[in-house]
Amino acid sequence: MGKSFRVFRAFGADVRVHWSFFLLLGLFAFVGYGVTGSLAGALVAAGIIGVLLVCVSLHEFGHALVARRCGIGVKDITLLPIGGACRLDVLHEKPADEVKIAFAGPLANLALAALFFGAASAFGTGPLEVSGASPEIGSVGQVLAYVGFLNALLAVFNMIPAFPMDGGRILRGVLAARLGRVRATEFAAVVGQSYAFALLLLGLLGGHILLAVVAVFVFVGASGELRTVRQRESARGLTVSEVMGTRSRVRTVSPYHNLGQVLEEVLHGYQSDFPVLGEDGELAGMITRDEIHAAMNSPDRFLLVRDLMKTQLPTLSPGSKLFDSGQRLLHESGIKALPVTEDGKFAGMLTIEDVAQADLLRQLPGADEAGRSPSPATSAARGPNA
Ligand SMILES: [Zn+2]
């Protein structure tokens, strides 16, 4: 997204302004001075950009407000001249919520446009008496009408059904109800890229450099969104067996080990939780860092593993979903490592670190556009036991 500056907090989120806004401020002041030849003209033109900033803020607050009502937190808001970005805590899981949240922004601009056109007409200026290319700054009415025009432009532009525009999210949300999130994103991304291509042609052939720049922005946004969703989905589909430490890699102890022998294992390996296997290799229990810590500082340190280990503990199956069953079971049991069994036999161990690592990959932002290797989720997610 490039450099942006934090200006204030609202809705529990940092509101940041992108540097391009300052560039635009200078440019408009310059053009305003050129057209009118007066400092007042420069100030009015710069003031219009200031008002645009407020309009974009209100657009984003529209998103933030509806997101909150859907129970979704807002991470931060970045204001860009063409709309802005409102980062949410979760990517809208429910398609219906995504549609509602996306609609709220352009709707806010439409309401503002109506308000400013209304105010302009009170000063005797009709909505069609301004042109987009250069603001005719003659009267208060014209300034108001121009701000109304900017809002209408923001609403229309953001409704283009292309990522990262709100229209793209609405399209994806509508499609996701039928196609599922990945295919809906793929479809919406292709539509977005087609739009971007058409905009680019239009911009280059018509000599509108700004339009061409916007087209590139849309194209990159569409591709990034697609990559993020694919990555997240591939991580979401991970199973316990893809992330766990397998039987051959996990160090185990026997019920007849003493604490000294367990500590030896801790010191010489990368593990702090150990499955306890009986003589036939069947799972007898687990001795985790909690039991080891507690025993170290008590008379229990002379006991054997069989007296210290946990025996009442849930087990996972290799085929269960990592983020559905695996993570939930670890969380609910409060145990930092759980054994994985298949047909009653010990198959491996899943630790909270394994899950955390896979989760990190799942949350990778779309920002890794620099062309890192695609979705290393399954290979890199293997835990510290690897
Ligand atoms: Zn928006």
Please give the average per-residue pLDDT across 361-369, as a whole number: 49
| Angle in degrees, CA 180, 182, 185, rounded to 5 | 100
Q: Read off the pLDDT of each residue in 137-158 and give the average, rounded to a whole number.
A: 82
| CA 285 – ligand 1 centroid, Å | 53
Q: What pLDDT digit, counting tens, does each position of 305-337 carry?
A: 989 998 888 889 888 888 878 888 888 888 889
Give the residue from 73, 82, 61, 83 showing the smallest Cα distance to 15.
Answer: 61
Q: Could you tell me the distance, in angstroms and rounded to a whole number, from the CA of residue 151 to the centre of ligand 1?
A: 12
Cα–ligand 1 centroid distance for 24 (angstroms):
20
Mean of all residue pLDDT scores within the chain: 79
Q: What spacing in Å lies between the alpha carbon of 74 and ligand 1's midpoint?
A: 13
Distance, in Å, from the CA atom of 19 to the CA atom of 16, rounded to the nearest integer, reads 9
Distance 86 CA to ligand 1 centre (A): 7
CA–centroid distance, 120 to ligand 1, in Å, is: 25
Distance from the CA of 250 to the center of ligand 1, in angstroms? 49
**What average pLDDT score do residues 380-385 get?**
32
Residues 139-149, mean pLDDT to the nearest whole number = 82
pTM: 0.56
Higher-confidence position of 91 and 38:
38
- Which of the four pLDDT bands, split at 50, 70 and 90, describes residue 113? very high
For ligand 1, the distance from its centroid to the CA atom of residue 164, given in whole angstroms, is 9
Q: Ligand 1: distance of its center to the CA of 156 in Å?
A: 11
Task: Measure 154 CA to ligand 1 centroid, in angstroms.
Answer: 9
| pLDDT above 60: residue 365 | no
Give the model confidence (pLDDT) of 220-274 as tens digits. Answer: 777 777 777 777 767 767 888 888 888 888 889 999 999 988 998 888 887 889 9
Which residue, among 315, 308, 362, has the nearest Cα to 335 in the 3D structure?
315
- CA 79 – ligand 1 centroid, Å: 10
Q: Is the pLDDT higher at 162 or at 257?
A: 257
Calculate how far, in angstroms, residue 159's C-alpha sits from the geometric centre of ligand 1: 9
- Cα(165) to centroid(ligand 1), Å: 6
Q: Given a cut of 60, is residue 144 above it in pLDDT?
A: yes
What's residue 367's pLDDT? Answer: 31
Between the CA of 78 and the centroid of ligand 1 the distance, in Å, is 11
Of residues 380 and 275, more confidently modeled: 275
Q: From the CA of 73, how far away is ligand 1's center (Å)?
A: 16
Q: Which residues contact 232 (CB under 8 A, 6 or more apart)?
A: 91, 362, 363, 364
Tell me whether strands 13-18 and 74-79 are parallel, antiparallel or unpaired.
Answer: parallel
**Residues, the chain, total?**
386
**Rounded to the nearest whole angstrom, what is the distance from the C-alpha of residue 248 to the centroid of ligand 1?**
51
Interatomic CA distance for residues 210 and 202, integer angstroms: 11
CA of 101 to the centre of ligand 1 (A): 9
Report whether 262 contacts 253 (CB < 8 A).
Answer: yes
Percent share of the chain, pLDDT over 70? 86
Quick one: pLDDT at residue 247?
82
Q: How far, in Å, CA of 335 to CA of 328, rounded?
A: 11
Distance 169 CA to ligand 1 centre (A): 9
User: How much of the chain, in percent, has pLDDT values that exceed 90?
Assistant: 9
45 Cα: distance to centroid of ligand 1 (angstroms): 24
Query: What's the pLDDT score for residue 137?
Result: 57
Long-range contacts of 121-124, Cβ-Cβ distance < 8 Å, separation of 24 or more: none
pLDDT recorded at residue 133: 42
Q: Which of 189-193, 198-202, 210-214, 293-297 has the weakest average pLDDT?
A: 210-214
Which comes out higher in pLDDT, residue 258 or 364?
258
CA 368 from centroid of its chain's CA atoms:
12
Q: 60: CA distance to ligand 1 center in Å?
A: 6
What is the whole-number distance in angstroms between the Cα of residue 267 and the centre of ligand 1? 53
